Amino acid sequence: MIEIQQVSKQYGESVVVDNVSLSLPAGGVTAIIGPNGAGKSTLLSMVSRLLPMSTGRVLVEGLDVTRADSRELARRLAILRQDNHLPLRLTARDLVAFGRYPHTGGRLTLEDKDHIDRAIAYLNLEPLADRYLDEMSGGQRQRAFVAMVLCQDTRYVLLDEPLNSLDMKHAVAMMGTLRRAADELGKTVVLVLHDINFASTYADRIVAMRAGRIARQGTPAELVRPEVLSELYELPIEVHEIGGRRICVYYRQP
Amino acid sequence: MAELAISAPVSGRAPQAWRLWLLGAFALACAIAFMTLGANGQWSFVIPFRGAKLAAMVLVAYAVAVSSVLFQTITHNRILTPAIMGFDALYLLIQAVVVFGFGQAATAASHPVAAFLLEVGAMTAFACLLFRWLFSDAVRSLHLMMLVGIIFGLLFRSLSNFVVRLIDPNEFLVLQDRMFASFNTVRVGLLPIALAAVCAASLLVWRMRRRYDVLALGRDIAVNLGVDYRRTLMLTLVAIAVLVSVSTALVGPVTFFGLLVSNLAYQVMGSDRHRYTVAAAVLLSVIFLVGGQTLLERVLGLNTTVSVVIEFLGGLMFLVLILRRGRR
């Protein structure tokens, strides 16, 4: 369980995250949605201790993220941010192997090798495992980073816009992988999504943010409704039920 | 470069090991050549005389190489080194201020070790403050950092020139030797304390050795993987400050040497693992310093100091790196 208690972030006068309290139960896929500048990424960064918060605190399974031992935390919670550009010459397997660092402190054991192989297989990266990251496409690199985060073997996996730079096929594959990670491996996946249809079709819970606050939260059935989304995005959005899934249509306004 | 494609991340028996052995053998050959070539005197005189000089050069080579590679790792760039950021100029400034403030009595002439310790202490404190102020807020533009660094280097150099002008001419003579890099006038008296300082800094770095590969992945990923980022950064900076102090105290400032050997090491190793890059940078800098000195002094019979040649090559490397970056 991740408990966010009265967390705020402000830069000078401007408040980016405004007194947010939220609890995310363990298990399942939670999507954070909302318009640009709603504070989604900032909130995720604070939960994962990448960014210090101005006020409030965050507990991950009872551990205060700003005070707890960082390595202890790294065995429970993993975060992947959006632009992962590395100026280093590393193979995908090398990168995935770093996921074991919180557990072994850099000395790989045979057990670690199993974890690495499994994470690579989970993302279907076997043919690319020994390829250098700078020789891969953006989508392949993104998969390698997700494999690293899975290899970290944490209960909580936080991802900031993991579908960025992925085409439709790879976006669907990525969401499928994350869904399976939640279902088969019992992980708690929290991700920031821009495509509300992915949130609608894959998430168990949706948290909608707007202007630094939590606007609404609930199941896709509760949130993916025209009146809720239209107000959230300030854009007329139709919701149609197609094959039992709620699909939002907003592309062309009359 | 075909063999670069073979990677053996887990076993560690990579082609890199062979390259390191080669570099090591070459460095050893340079050291032997330095000790023996043209030695037509009493061995009982030659060995301690040249030995002390060799020891000083190896110490400087080690200090410059390790501090440069680690500095580039913690700042996530490959163009800046402590020397380009003006750390050595800062050390000179501190030296000048110490001479100015306490007079000659308190410095090299009478208490070289005490003065050295004082200077290293002040240097470490200042470097940490400066660094904290520059790098505390997440990521900043590399170009901004470079600009700030070069300006700081200039500022420190000008300030120490200014302080020098305030100093009594006799005391100035003590300082003058140290303002320019020279491998001919190594301050041998400082060797034991310099060695001790280098060992202490190395121990500090050695304890954190496994973190540096993770740190190189960038701040966010390093924090995600549980590296205590701030602490590692500050401790590493302390070690770097000590290493820079040692090399500057022994031979004076060398601006582009660290840049040259660190970037050559990355190229030669074709791997970014610190166990390879740090070792390769140390060996390369021994080869450059000791080999270069032997070549100039013994073979070519020139009186030019090797630092001029090294600075020239390093300066070229600096230009190449900047131009290459600009094009991308």
Q: Which of A123, A118, A149 is nearest to A136 (CA)?
A: A123
d(C-alpha A154, C-alpha A186), whole Å: 10
Q: Which residue out of B210, B225, B263, B277 would a mutagenesis test of the A interface target, given it has the greatest number of A Cβ atoms within 10 Å?
A: B225
Q: For residue B221, which residues of chain A lie inside 8 Å, CB to CB?
A: 84, 98
Q: Which of A108, A245, A130, A146 is nearest to B11 (CA)?
A: A108
CA–CA distance from A171 to each of A163, A167, A195, A200 (Å)? 5, 6, 10, 14
pLDDT surpasses 80 at B131: no
Q: For residue B220, which residues of chain A lie inside 8 Å, CB to CB?
A: 50, 79, 81
d(C-alpha A48, C-alpha A249), whole Å: 33
Q: Which of B218, B270, B283 is nearest to B8 (CA)?
A: B270
More confidently predicted of B67 and B324: B67
Q: Is A248 helix (H, G, I), strand (E, B) or coil?
A: strand
pLDDT surpasses 80 at B189: no
As for the ipTM of the complex, it is: 0.91
* DSSP conformation class of B316: H
More confidently predicted of B2 and A177: A177
* Contacts across the A-B interface (CB distance below 8 Å): 74
Q: For residue B225, which residues of chain A lie inside 8 Å, CB to CB?
A: 74, 98-99, 101-102, 152
- Chain segment B245-266, per-residue pLDDT in tens: 888 888 888 888 999 999 999 9
pTM for the whole thing?
Answer: 0.86
d(C-alpha A219, C-alpha A228), whole Å: 12
Contact A50 B221 (CB under 8 A): no
Q: Which residue out of B13, B75, B224 would a mutagenesis test of the A interface target, given it has the greatest number of A Cβ atoms within 10 Å?
A: B224
- Cβ–Cβ under 8 Å, residues B159 and B95: no
Task: Specify which residues A207 forms β-bridges with.
Answer: A32, A217
Closest residue to B225, CB basis, from A84, A91, A101: A101
- Chain segment B153-162, per-residue pLDDT in tens: 888 888 888 8
Rounded to 5 degrees, φ, ψ at A64 are -75, 120
* Alpha helices by DSSP H, B37-141: 43-75, 87-102, 112-135
Lowest-pLDDT choice from A152-156, A167-171, A175-179, B300-304: B300-304
Q: What is the CA radius of gyration of chain A?
A: 18
pLDDT surpasses 50 at B3: no
Contact B224 A48 (CB under 8 A): yes
Tokens 């201790």 map to which residue? A49
Rounded to 5 degrees, φ, ψ at B254 are -130, 115
According to DSSP, the β-strands at A188-192 and A156-160 are parallel
Q: What is the CA radius of gyration of chain B?
A: 20
pLDDT at B221: 92
Q: For residue B5, which residues of chain A lie inside 8 Å, CB to CB?
A: 130
Sign of torsion over alpha carbons A220, A222, A225, A231: negative
For residue B231, give the chain A residue with the closest CA.
A70
Tokens 């590969």 map to which residue? B213
CA–CA distance from B121 to each of A214, B86, B125, B196, B209 (Å)? 50, 17, 6, 14, 23
For residue A73, give the chain B residue with the closest CA.
B226
pLDDT at B9: 44
pLDDT surpasses 80 at B328: no
Helix, strand, coil percent content, chain B, rounded in steps of 5: 80, 0, 20
One-character DSSP codes across B175-206: HHGGGS--SSS--GGGHHHHHHHHHHHHHHHH
Lowest-pLDDT choice from A79-83, A211-215, B129-133, B134-138: B134-138
Read off the pLDDT band of B152 (50, 70, 90).
Answer: confident
d(C-alpha B214, C-alpha B74), whole Å: 11
- Name the CA dihedral angle for B216, B217, B220, B222, rounded to a multiple of 10 degrees: -70
Find how far residue A110's CA is from the centre of its chain.
29
Task: Specify which residues A8 forms β-bridges with.
Answer: A55
- Cβ–Cβ under 8 Å, residues A122 and A150: yes
